[in-house]
Structure 1
């Protein structure tokens, strides 16, 4: 199957999205999800089905569909200057005098009603045209939408007023009326209802469109940060070309202040790179030859020459954008229930409005009063807010997450975070950096620390072993290394060579083969007890000292473990290392439950064992050996510094290599889910509470229209609060 994304036009409410989704899903083998907030449809097409067929189905349903415009989202028209804004402005200018004339008897001059009729007619015909058109298209396809309710309500109020003006006594000079906000006043003209309902609904749609655009601002900003052109080194000279022309393997230049054009590896130069756009980190990171850089980040220091390793859709920034968009197109379980409810809600409301009209007529109410109450029922019932509850919260939450270096794959991941009570932490590369480092230096009596580092660093500088590289790097940062010759390595034992014409050996004490003084023996024991790798160094047959190397714990890991506990999660350290090393790391970060010496294939079994005990398990990992456990867990959190396999298996991805980001991810996910649930509650509560009030004749259609518009704006505004998440 192939997945395509379609831009949908003409949707005015969640019912429209539901109808399109149903039509697409009726195609053989097609799976579709339509998002009203993003105005996009994600469609899975089976082999042999062309995208043109899906577009044709959408168009037959009464809407437009097309492949997304390649123009970046930031270039799209702003709703402030759109046709909707102009339609609202004109309707408001015409509708306000109608409301004032109808409400204030002192303003009602002779034949004022005819001026009100003249001002209302363009509002009802032109201003409300989007509602009438959508209602007509729905009726033509045998469906009723929220626009059907609005169109019928406005048309009924206007038609009743026209009948009273032309065929009743309302057109007579000297006619006066007053507006009652608590139900119908029993007056014969309802022009203010037709005009003001239209204005309020247009205002709600306009504010909703602006808010929806703001809710997607984080993703648009993320996708717009890429460089537009780049200086490529070709045939010995620098050539400025569009980024689209850059190819994998080519060398390009990044000057101070420029944006890194694409993912690559630094070949020349050293600089500080601002990663905030990708990871959310505010502190620039130092890079040099051999280090990787990410496209979209900013060079804050010196000139760099970089070899492109990924371009176009394969870059990390592009993958982040895709993951965020995919998450925003999903639906939480609560929203799927709301969609089913809203799908049958409109026909039920139409029947309810008709029953209300008949009921009031049978009770002896005048036709005009009964009709006004029915109109209030039609207007107040529009469940627009239901359709916005999940999409807007997802738009804002996932967009904010992307800014902070947290990628959420979809609503299912959000729902999982609410239930998780146990978090399993992989040690290497997750709690620790995954890189060996020199952590302790113990020279023998009469030997300076500098001399020990000079000799050991020079010898290990020729080693390819991770322990040797760690010693060499630690020594090089503090002393100047002399030359070495005659290097010979013994696998699993140590390395020997000649430094400044003196034979030197470094490795396991038994292999080094010299007498070990008591102080160095104690240092060896202490290092091994702490789970570190201890290296004995000897020169000329005499012990010079002990060096301890370890996979260093991330600075943030202890705070992260405390953060997990604060969220009600029980941390478990899971590692293939020996018990002593694992316990040392666990004690450092504050984890009590340790499972050591676990083979990669056993990690899944341990996760399942926890699940069988009734625990809801999250796994945080970064390597290929963590992928199966990430996929098995109720919630998989992949460190973005890890392998692509681990990232694909995770539900949440942390772009920055910082375990506190996992705490932030859980917090953000829970906050987003809470916002979705809050939105749905208030949307449902609004309809449930308002309908009986309107049916009882206690709500004027004007007030109903204002309340309906406010409910949608409230839901979107509530979602926008997620932008302030820290």
Structure 2
């Protein structure tokens, strides 16, 4: 049976225990293969059979005590609902009244019974069971599923505070302390923390939403009519005027312009395009009018695939997060046990019941594991979002962990560190006119289909007419140009090669480059140097990787001399030449056997085995789709220095995650004993819990300011 992946937006999650509960509930639906929930983004990703209806999935989430709805697009996600803001305002106003009535003696009044205290009880009930109803509702639903989350702790703590106070007030217990303001203020503080947290979490998804809003809403067809982009089909032709966004992926059939594709590649320099060139949907047409024929639409466009990959990376769990989830699964029940033990311990020690109760409530509130649940998913969400802005697409959170551990980066040569395009580097003509000889060679090679011949033909004006063209496979070509027989090729094509020319050719070959001789009447007069030019960003990229403490290796099927020359120019530590696709994978396996953690950077079909073998496969996005499929990270531009950015961003993200966990564990390790000892009042405990979560959120959002390495 066919499979599909459904996405739901989940409302009401408060900690990683909520995530586990929702995943169990979704997994219980018949036909669901896998369910993953991201606490930071509020999204559930469900792999299921086609027979599973979205309504069934929503019902499973609702049955677990949470809200669920279908997203309307990639930009749909966390938002602070107006009703939630109103609820916070109402709770804050009433909570302030309760605090004033119970803490300011001048406001107390007695109408034959403790009227001000009973008014405080009624108002506090409105906050605890009205504004805070969501906590109790979800806690009850979780109890039915035999689980406990942060909602359980908040519901127990605030309800206990109100019930205890009401019993003391009704029974007229003389010295019994009332905690109406405690329950009300705790609810207000937690609602305020949730409001601030959700606003911050929404900022964490800004990068993905920024991509989503780039899609043009309408396209103008050749006949001048405007149609919704959603109605475009493969083969549709549409017009893009200067300053407009290109409606969908396509190929230019008419016109020329510069197109800004920085939203995908991160490169600020526009790309010149003309007939036959591919263009990406959502990129901006800087100047000139274009007629584009659609080649991909809807979910098949590059932008849509990028957003899916980023969303998938944000949903996948890292190994460190799975460990935290296992801890969270037992954390809340343990906190309840500690709270009960605190209450019993204080009473057994002969302490007043009010003080024992205060300490127990403080334990319940301060133990809420919000920070623990946010530590990984929020950092991954911000890190991968920032990566997408820089043209770095990471397939999953685990890749961030693995990338951080790298010690060796292996580069493919052709098409990766080079431009995969032969070019004339220089011409040496001892005693002759180099420009004139290059023009003669270009005229002869204008008939050639060989890559080296095309490189020479494009290096000079070849408008001179030629006759008698003869191709000598493996040797060169001969033709008559302006009455002279001109030969272009290897030494064997010439009857006479002067010593100066032969020496110049030997020097070129010693550097691993291609030496092409050119001359008239069977006499070699000049040497043309042809090579696959290195990318301008390759040497800086290698230097940046070395500055990060990484070793570098160059793998290529080229001749050893040519490979070593390229390695020397790049500053690469080690060069391995003469290896094919299987040999590249075997070399990476050999490095791994030495205990190295290896990244492979490649671009093309023959790199797929090596990309798969490596601990981290990094595909240059300008290459073949199969390379990107085999890779863990895709660089959407040809700028190799972004490889160093990807590794630096991964390290920064993992450092942020570790910092988050350090704070979360230190906070709970220190705060719970203080609450048990009675040092922390419940209200202070609530403020500390909210502050802990906001620290993790703020620390994660710092990744938005990551700059290129």
Do both share a fold (TM > 0.5)? Answer: yes
SS in 2 for 1:147: helix
Q: How far apart in 2 are the matches of 1:156 and 1:166? A: 15
Partner of 2:687: 706
Partner residue of 2:704? 723
Q: CA deviation at 1:480?
A: 6.3
Give the count of matched residue pairs: 700
Deviations 1:628-684 (A, max 9, x none): 111111111111111111111111110111111110000001111111121122112
The separation in 2 between residues aligned to 1:222 and 1:486, in whole angstroms, is 57
Cα distance, 1:597–1:295 mapped onto 2, change above 3 Å: same
SS of the residue aligned with 2:459?
helix
Q: Does 1:12 align with 2:13?
A: yes
CA distance in 2, matches of 1:417, 1:454: 49
Alignment pair present for 1:655 and 2:675: no
Matched, 1:490 2:472: yes
Within 5 A, what are the aligned runs for 1:353-502? 353-447=339-433, 449-475=434-460, 479=461, 481-502=463-484
Offset, 1:146: 1.1
State whether residues 65 and 137 of structure 2, in contact with CA within 8 Å, keep that contact through their aligned partners in structure 1: no
Q: Which moved more, 1:306-315 or 1:408-417?
A: 306-315
Q: Secondary structure at the match of 1:150?
A: helix
Change (3 A) 1:554 1:464: same
- After superposition, the C-alpha distances for 1:343-399 in whole angstroms (9 at most, x for unaligned) are 111122112211111111222222222212111111011101111111111110000
Whether contact under 8 Å (1:268, 1:306) holds in the other structure is yes
Q: Deviations over 1:403-429 (max 9, x none)?
A: 000011111111111221111111111
Equivalent position to 1:644, from 603, 609, 625: 625
**Deviation string, structure 1 residues 1-60 (Cα, Å, up to 9, x no partner):** 724133143432221211121233355772222212222222222586666554443343
- What is residue 61 of structure 1 aligned with on the other side? 64
Deviations 1:52-71 (A, max 9, x none): 554443343333445x3334
1:217 Cα deviation from its structure 2 partner: 0.7
3-state SS in 2 of match to 1:657:
coil
Structure 2 CA distance for partners of 1:109 and 1:501, relative to 1, 3 Å: farther
Q: What is the alpha-carbon distance in structure 2 between the residues aligned to residue 586 and residue 187 of structure 1? A: 81
Structure 1 residues 631 and 302: alpha-carbon distance in aligned structure 2, compared to 1, 3 A threshold: same
Contact 1:24 1:30 in 2 (8 A): no
Residue aligning to 1:508? 490
- Tell me how far apart the structure 2 counterparts of residues 252 and 663 of structure 1 sit (CA, whole Å): 39
Is the contact made by 2:281 and 2:301 (CA closer than 8 Å) also made in structure 1?
Answer: yes
CA contact (8 A) 1:639 1:647 kept: yes
SS at match of 1:302: coil
Structure 1 residue ranges without an equivalent (≥5): 171-185
Compared CA separation, residues 613 and 725, structure 1 to 2 (3 A): same
Quick check: 1:622–1:641 contact (8 Å CA) kept in 2?
yes
After superposition, the Cα gap between the structure-2 partners of 1:500 and 1:305, relative to the gap in structure 1 and judged at 3 Å, is: farther
> Which residue of 568, 578, 581 maps to 1:597?
578
The 2-side partners of 1:195 and 1:189 are apart by: 12
> Residue 669 of structure 1 corresponds to which residue in structure 2?
650
1:44-193 → structure 2 map (5 Å cutoff):
44-45=47-48, 53-66=56-69, 68-73=70-75, 78-79=79-80, 81-103=81-103, 112-168=116-172, 188-193=177-182
Q: Using the alignment, how far apart are the partners of 1:313 and 1:500 within structure 2?
A: 57
1:258 aligns with 2:244: yes
* Secondary structure of 2:295 counterpart: strand
- The question of whether the paired residues in 1 share the 8 Å contact of 2:411 and 2:601 is answered with yes
Q: Which runs of 5+ in 2 are unaligned?
A: none
Q: How does 1:527-606 map to 2 (within 5 A)?
A: 527-606=508-587
* Alpha-carbon offset, residue 485 of structure 1: 4.3
Q: Give the structure 2 partner of residue 33 of structure 1.
A: 36
Contact between 2:249 and 2:294, CA under 8 Å: does it hold in 1? yes
Residue aligned with 1:286, SS: strand
Q: CA RMSD in A?
A: 2.2
Counterpart among 339, 343, 347 of residue 325 in structure 2: 339
Deviations along 1:90-145, one digit per CA (max 9) or x if unpaired, are 11122224334545556657665455345423212221111111112212333222
Aligned equivalents of 2:173, 2:176: Cα separation in 1: 11
Identify if the C-alpha distance between structure 1 residues 101 and 456 changes in structure 2 by more than 3 Å, giving closer, same or farther. Answer: farther
Q: Secondary structure at 1:12's aligned position in 2? A: coil
- Residues 309-367 of structure 1: CA deviation (Å, up to 9, x unaligned): 22222221111111101000011111111111111111221122111111112222222
Q: Secondary structure at the match of 1:424?
A: strand
Range with bigger deviation, 273-282 or 120-129: 120-129
| Aligned-partner SS, 2:177 | coil
Q: 1:629 to 1:455 in 2, by over 3 A?
A: same
Runs (4 or more) in structure 1 with deviation over 6 Å come to: none
Q: Is 2:157–2:364's contact at 8 Å kept on the other side of the alignment?
A: yes
| 2:201 maps to 1:212 | yes
Give the Cα–Cα distance (whole angstroms) in 2 for the partners of residues 104 and 188 of structure 1: 15
106-115 or 637-646, larger mean C-alpha shift: 106-115
Aligned-residue offset at 1:437: 1.2
Post-superposition shift, 1:78?
3.6
Task: Give the C-alpha shift of residue 148 in structure 1.
Answer: 1.1
Q: Is the 1:124–1:155 contact (alpha carbons within 8 Å) kept by the matching residues of 2?
A: yes
How far has the Cα of 1:517 moved from its partner? 2.7
Which of 295, 309, 315 aligns to 2:281? It is: 295
Q: CA 1:298 to 1:417, structure 2 compared with 1: closer, same or farther past 3 Å?
A: same
Residue 523 (structure 1) shift: 2.2
2 CA distance for matches of 1:665 and 1:71? 27
Indicate how the Cα distance of structure 1 residues 71 and 599 shifts in structure 2: closer, same or farther if over 3 A, else same: closer
CA 1:229–1:440: 2 relative to 1, 3 Å: same
Moved more, 563-572 or 57-66: 57-66
Shift of 1:509: 2.3
Range moving further from structure 2, 694-703 or 32-41:
32-41
> TM-score scaled by structure 2?
0.94
Say which SS state the counterpart of residue 73 (structure 1) adopts.
coil
Q: Distance in 1 between matches of 2:23 and 2:483?
A: 79
Aligned mates of 1:304, 1:487 — CA distance in 2: 39
